[in-house]
Structure 1
Amino acid sequence: MLDYVQSTGQANPELQMQAEKYVSTGYQRLLTFEAPGGGFSLMGNPPAEVFLTAYGLMQFHDMAQVYPVDEAVAERAARWLFQQQQADGTWQTYDYRAGQGALGATAYVVWALAEAGYADTPQVGQAISYIREFALSPSAQGGTGEGADPYSLALVANALAAYAPDDAMTQAVMNRLYEMRVQDGDAIYWPAGEGSFMGATGESGSLETTALAAYAFMRAKAHPEAVSGALSYLIQGKDAWGTWGTTQATILSLKALLLATETAGQAEGPATLRVSLNRELTREIVIDQTTADVVHLVTFDRGFSPSGENRVQIELQGGGNLMYQVATRYYLPWDAVPAAEMVGDVMTIDVDYDRTRLSVNDEVTVDVAVRLNKEGVVKLALIDLGVPPGFTVLSEDLSRLVEQGAIARYELAGRQIIVYLEDFAYGTPLRFSYRLRARFPLRAQTPSSSAYDYYNPADTTVRAPLEVTVSE
């Protein structure tokens, strides 16, 4: 994003300072995931993982366009990847499901290395030969031929587009990927059959796959009509918070959308947009060449009809083909929330306080039980535990759980504890406890608690708040 505002001349000192702060924070955080001995892992512990190291290399390359990145870090990541290459030029993955074998892993690593400036190395050349040989072979041989998953083919497409976008095999792969599209009105998407490299399936997996396909088509200058439909699908998939559900889906969607702004033509002309609520409150936006690629946010926080039925009207005067999204937020008492909306299919969480009435400086023990309801393994599960106001978390309990290997990591974030679980498997439920200390007299509700697969957050199980009373 910082590269975008700089290249389009939209950066101002305040915006640039804020963006650089975020990039710096992200860079420092990314460094903490480098594993001893080289490469990157999910929590920074050995052994390092091929996909995450390639992903880290991509991030360093992107950051280096706008922020001073230590070249030695990226070189170590590339060197570690080269050390993992097999004799036949491939990379293997054992912890992730992408590509169902060598082809998906190899394509992703080649894409990362090519983007980072290693396209001319003999290691990448050997890997490209393997990819070209098996890219369109029958899937039974490890290729991505008929019946193969679009996600794997999208990885192959990006590897080839980064290496040689005009090559005949690159264009053949683009054509095969184009044939796998699904048309939904004006939108086009690619469904993900298998999990992405971090295990995203369903809507999250389709967002990742579609963003990958759109990015590859743009890099190879292929099938512009499919790019337009894919961008429509991505824009429609943006949630009310301005993201795409998961970190990976958000990053890939933004990557595709930003590349589209570089390849797009000029705006058709100035336009005036009027947005009104119930024909009473009206907001007016003027869109010209300087603001055509900017997201305009219109918020109504009053003027609602007592009946509960509200009408949003959008009027456009002038040229242009504009996309829009309407999002609403509302609140319900917890006892009015349907039970079906609180219970997900994938995970179950129970949270119990050993008492809810106590005095200042008393401690309360919180018991947590989490289980996976479907066969398989969740690569990264998140447990979000609400902390009542006026309480201190005794973090030594959580640190002990990390030392024991019961949990991978935890973070204290205001009124919540975020617990990370790696490789959370069916049939091995987790039970743990931690303590809170009451600091002030009060009566309050705890925030809700939840459990979900980090890369499939649409299926989240929520536990309603508990009421606690603290006396003098």
Structure 2
Amino acid sequence: QAYGREGDALDAALATLAETAVVQDGLAAWPGEIETLDGSAKGSESAYGTLTPSARVEGTALATRALLYARTHPELVAQGLELLTDSRDASGTWNAPQATLLALRTLLDALQGGDLSSESTVRVTVDEIAAQPVSLDAGHAGTVQVLTFDQLSKGYNDIVIQAEGDKVAYQAIGTYYLPWSQIAPTSPEEEEVSIEISYEPTSLHVGEIATATVGIMLNRQGSAPLTVLELGLPPGMDLLTSDLDELAAKGVIAHYEQRPGHVRVYVRDLSAEQPASFRYRLRARFPLSAKTQPTRAYDLANPQRPAVREPAQIEVVP
């Protein structure tokens, strides 16, 4: 309990914080109306799950942490923690680096300040196929238990989660693959950024050089402090890194990293008014006909709506 003039101001701030919470379906969120310092766009639209805007995750984590430290509004704290748990992506993170950092700090603070003596048992079945029961005790309070069901039936599958005990948080994630022919083209309104990549020529001889041309633009107001491009590379072709070194030296790109199957390029301060474009070359090593890896682009602070482009066909003859 705080006393005096500073205590009154703190109590008033905590009361305002509680009043501004948006509670929906048992989840409490603090949606931001301004862009955060790391560039996360405001999250005023109604979105939960993996589509939760990064700014909403950041705001919810900070607000929940403040109420947690103040030991007030326990129901809102629990609902804020539920929102953070529900907002994780399939990789177990919160999409953007800053959102992930703040969410993890808040969850760890809640874990350290809570009662870890209780025990729980969770049983999961998918279409009456049961997994081994998971026991959650004080020794495993901060451990994520992963159960995988890879023999799903076509169509609907019934997932039943039964928890014996309390303080159990869970998330169900489904992944699937589609052929490119079944994926509808996306519009700029559906992507945070737009990217185009082309190769010329797409048919060449061993030892010859192909040029990749890349163009990227932000599809919203403001700017993206850092945009990530994952540019698919054709197998059997060498990336001429001297081109990317020169682009980095001129400030066209901020940095690049060559990885298996693609090259990751970072671009600073991208906007609709200031798009970016550049070229780099590839040299054919041996004859083959193959496709590149897919190309992806996303705003690092707002990665929920990436641009994805299908692989390109490259043919190399002797």
CA gap 1:313/1:375 in 2 versus in 1, 3 angstroms = closer
Structure 1's unaligned 5+ residue stretches are 1-160
User: Residue 223 of structure 2 aligns to which amino acid in structure 1?
Assistant: V
Number of the residue aligned with 2:46: none
Aligned counterpart, 2:147: 298
Q: Distance in 2 between matches of 1:344 and 1:355?
A: 30
Asked if the contact 1:392/1:437 (under 8 Å) is kept, the reply is yes
Pick from 181, 184, 192 the counterpart of residue 21 of structure 2. 181
Secondary structure, in 3 states, of the residue corresponding to 2:143? coil
Identity of aligned residues (%): 35
Number of residues paired by the alignment?
A: 305
* C-alpha contact (below 8 Å) 1:342/1:462 kept by paired residues: no
Instruction: Spell out the pairing of 1:448-467 with structure 2 (5 A cutoff).
Output: 448-467=294-313
Could you say which structure has the greater relative contact order, defined with CA pairs below 8 angstroms and 6 or more residues apart?
A: 2
Deviation per residue, 1:292-311 (Å, 9 max, x gap) = 3321100112x222x33322
Q: Which residue of 2 aligns with 1:436?
A: 282
Q: What does the per-residue CA deviation read over 1:261-297, in whole Å, with 9 as the maximum and x for residues that have no partner?
A: 110013433x332222221353321222322332110
Which position in structure 1 is the counterpart of 2:109? 259
Q: CA deviation at 1:341?
A: 7.7
Q: Is the 8 A contact 1:343 1:461 kept in 2?
A: no
How far the C-alpha of 1:192 sits from its partner, in A, is 0.7
Q: Give 1:219's aligned residue.
A: 69
Residue 194 of structure 2: which of 348, 371, 378 is its match?
Answer: 348
CA distance in structure 2 between the partners assigned to 1:327 and 1:373 by the alignment: 28
Q: Which amino acid aligns with 1:258?
A: L
2:12 counterpart residue number? 172
Shift in Å at residue 401 of structure 1?
A: 0.8
Q: CA deviation at 1:408?
A: 1.7
Shift in alpha-carbon separation, 1:439–1:308, aligned structure 2, 3 A: farther
Query: Aligned with 1:240: secondary structure?
Result: coil
Report the secondary structure of 2:90's partner residue: coil
Question: Equivalent residue for 2:50?
Answer: none
Determine if the alignment matches structure 1 residue 363 to structure 2 residue 209: yes
Structure 2 counterpart SS, 1:196: coil
CA shift at 1:245, angstroms?
Answer: 0.9
In 2, the alpha carbon distance for the partners of 1:283 and 1:253 equals 29
Aligned mate of 2:266, from 407, 420, 424? 420
More strand by share: 2
- Distance in 1 separating the partners of 2:304 and 2:95: 8
Partner Cα separation in structure 2 for residue 425 and residue 342 of structure 1 = 13
TM-score of the superposed pair, with normalisation by structure 2: 0.89
- Taking a change above 3 Å as real, the CA distance of residues 358 and 468 of structure 1, as seen in their structure-2 partners, is same
In 1, Cα distance between equivalents of 2:277 and 2:271: 13
Counterpart contact for 2:122–2:135, Cα < 8 Å: yes
8 Å contact 2:297–2:307 — kept in the other structure?
A: yes
SS in 2 for 1:168: helix
Query: CA offsets per residue over residues 40-73 of structure 1, 9 Å max, x none?
Result: xxxxxxxxxxxxxxxxxxxxxxxxxxxxxxxxxx
| Aligned equivalent of 2:161 | 314
Within the candidate set 260, 277, 280, 2:126 is matched to 277
Between the aligned partners of 2:109 and 2:218, the Cα distance in structure 1 is 39
- 443-452 vs 209-218, which moves further: 443-452
RMSD: 2.2
What does 1:103-122 correspond to in 2, within 5 Å?
A: none
